Homo-oligomer: A and B are copies of this chain.
Amino acid sequence: MENLAVDEFVDLLRKNKLKVTNPRLQVLQIMSEREAAISQPELEKMVGGDIDRVTLYRVLSTFEEKGIIHKILDLQGTATYAVCSSSCNDREHHDEHVHFSCEICNKVYCLPESIYPNIAAPKGFLVKHVTINAIGICRYCQMEHKGE
């Protein structure tokens, strides 16, 4: 089962003219196994000492430039990353879905929903896109806090 995924990752990297390296594969693996967006510090914990901190920063920023992942800020303002939908590329990012931030564990989830309201900005302000962030308690934290 892991091999299948690895093949997809290799394709993805090739498609973006990126060399297939271990750090990049590991990051893709970790992100694809995870429901929530991930930050560099979390990523660093997960890979142990396998990959240098600086490399992780660089992998993330390369992926973001190529449109492989997109950046989302969590409630603390820490940058977290999640894999983009397949319609993203280095020209355009289509990550206009709702993000959910859990105020307990601080994790960020991308929600499927896509109802976008029209925002009326004051004259002179040009709105190019809109992001919506729902804040609350995620599924996992609610389970843990049942009965308290």
Contacts and interface: CB of A to CB of B under 8 A. Distances in A.
Interface of A: 73, 77-79, 98, 100, 103, 109, 111-113, 115, 117, 119-139, 142-143
19 contacts: A73-B73, A77-B78, A77-B79, A98-B119, A98-B121, A103-B128, A111-B119, A112-B122, A113-B121, A115-B119, A119-B134, A121-B136, A124-B138, A124-B142, A125-B137, A126-B142, A127-B136, A128-B136, A130-B132
Contacts of A111: 119, 121-122, 125
A129 B136 contact: yes
A112 to B, nearest CB: 8
A1 to B, nearest CB: 25
A77 to B, nearest CB: 4
Contacts of A119: 98, 111, 113, 115, 132, 134
A100 B121 contact: yes
Nearest to A103: B128
Q: Which 10 A-B residue pairs are closest in the complex by CB-CB distance?
A: A124-B139, A77-B77, A128-B136, A127-B136, A126-B136, A126-B137, A127-B134, A117-B117, A131-B133, A73-B77
